[in-house]
Amino acid sequence: MLKFEHTTLGQRVLFGTGQAAKHVAAEISRLGVTRPMVIAGAPERALAEVATAEIVPALWWDEVIQHVPAEVAEKARAAAAIESVDVIVCVGGGSTTGLAKAVALTTGLPVIAVPTTYAGSEATNVWGLTEDRTKTTGTDPRVLPTTVVYDADLSKTLPVGLSVASGLNGMAHCVDSLWAPNADPINQALALEGARALGLALRGIVANPDDMDAREQALYGCYLAAVSFASAGSGLHHKICHVLGGTFDLPHAQTHATVLPYVLAFNAPAVPELAGRLAIALGGEASTHDPADAAVAALRELYSAVQAPARLADYGFTEAGIPEAVQRVVKAAPASNPTAVTEQNITALLTEALTGATPMVATTPAR
């Protein structure tokens, strides 16, 4: 029997290439606000000026650090209070959106998110803060951006390598959403369509970085990925990456991209029907004999085609960090994960991800 409970988050999405400034100004007018705080790191300043060309910011904030250190969030909140800010406009990737969410978490200010990458944070009610080498996440309706403005022009200068890593971060949202704690048929459907769109988009961007159709598809795919993730919740993949990012300061997108094939190989045998559907979404062949192998092979083929990140060692993680990471992951792992989590199998997973070994489909019994 089909039985589930699904919550759809309320959010306005404005999608149009070359329309960011027009859409941001229209939202400022619609919301009746007059003192916007624009959050954009120094590298995104030029893009932010394009996106906010038709409004007058009351405050520019450019201190943006990945994983949102708690002290940076406090400084931004204080600045917003001093300037009597009544809305936040964030222009950038996941770290920028994350800081805007951190300000909204305690102030209740509405957020207009203008993504320049494929992170997907803009479509979730998930916040994250890092303090004392520990990244804490939670959900709160106050942090869900009121409006998302998607404009592929703002992503056309994103380097191919970072486009790939960011898009695969979105792909991780899709895969995790298939069996995360609150997974249901609706977010699974969104996740599979998101995976299909992202796979095609990344191939297109690698083949031609100026392919705006591909960049639009990447934004479309990352939005579906994020919507499914917001409903399904954080699965094992995200728990692992939160540990690697918050505790070891590994780069967000590259870490997600690197870890994903290993978590898929770990969980896929326990959910063969979903693995088979994912294989098809990624352009692979359906296999009634071994759908887990088919899914892992399809993802591996995509990774080869787009020259995806492959080793955690390339981003500063070392063998010495594995024991602490394992302890933290085992403690945070969802009880509902399809494959039972142990210190032994998480050690093996992180060791493979560290060295870039070919992901092997797990033989660990399902629950």
Distance CA 187, CA 173 (A): 11
pLDDT of residue 127: 95
Query: Distance of CA 245 to CAs 6, 136, 222, 240, 312, Å?
Result: 30, 11, 20, 9, 11
- The pLDDT tens digits for 86-142 are 999 999 999 999 999 999 999 999 999 999 999 899 999 999 999 999 989 899 999
pLDDT of residue 89: 98
Tell me if the domain spanning 12-155 has CATH number 3.40.50.1970. yes
- Answer yes or no: are the C-beta atoms of 261 and 359 closer than 8 Å: yes
Architecture of the 161-355 domain: Up-down Bundle (1.20)
pLDDT of residue 366: 53
pLDDT of residue 367: 56
The model's pTM? 0.93
pLDDT of residue 364: 53
pLDDT of residue 363: 65
- Domain residue ranges of the chain, discontinuous segments joined by +: 12-155, 161-355
Amino acid, single-letter form, for residue 61: W
Low-confidence ranges of the chain (pLDDT < 50): none
Q: Give the bridge partners for 111, in sequence order.
A: 88
- The pLDDT tens digits for 163-188 are 999 999 999 999 999 999 999 999 99
Q: How many CB atoms lie under 10 A from the CB of residue 157?
A: 11
pLDDT of residue 27: 98
> What is the rounded average pLDDT for all residues in the chain?
95
